[in-house]
Amino acid sequence: MPAYEEFDGNFDPHRTEPRTAPAVGGSARLRARGIAVTGTESPEDLVGLLSVVQGFEAAVERFVLRREPGEIVPAYIKRIAEATARLRRYQRVPE
């Protein structure tokens, strides 16, 4: 921390709250998604991690398994069910 920020912090101990508040909220949101955070991450890293996780979730949400040309419905259903089962194995790893 630069000397002027340390000096200023002596007069306003809440000076760092605007920078740390998003990080604290980000940690809680990451943990809720099953992503381990150690508490040693910088606020910038937590905000960046949350941003890419949310982007990944949005991309996965819009992902659709396309039906192959000539694929019969029962085979398509089976393929979707198998893909879903594989994804569920990777959900929310306990910390």
The pLDDT tens digits of the residues spanning 55-68 come to 988 888 888 889 99
| Domain-located, residue 65 | yes
- Domain containing residue 72: 3-88
For 40-82, where are the E strands, in sequence order? none
Q: What is the pLDDT of residue 50?
A: 92
**Which tens digit of pLDDT belongs to each residue from 20-54?**
555 667 888 998 888 889 989 999 999 999 999 99
| Domain-located, residue 95 | no
| Domain-located, residue 66 | yes
Would the pLDDT of 82 be above 80?
A: yes
Would the pLDDT of 85 be above 60?
A: yes
Decide: 65 and 84 in contact? Cβ < 8 Å.
no
| Domain-located, residue 81 | yes
Q: How many CA atoms lie within 13 A of 39 on its CB side?
A: 1
Q: What is the pLDDT of residue 5?
A: 55
28 vs 17, 23, 37, 80, 85, CA distance in Å? 16, 9, 9, 32, 27
What mean pLDDT comes out for the span 3-12? 57
| Domain-located, residue 93 | no
The 3-state DSSP class for residue 13 equals coil
pTM of the model: 0.56
| Domain-located, residue 11 | yes
In the chain, the number of structural domains is: 1
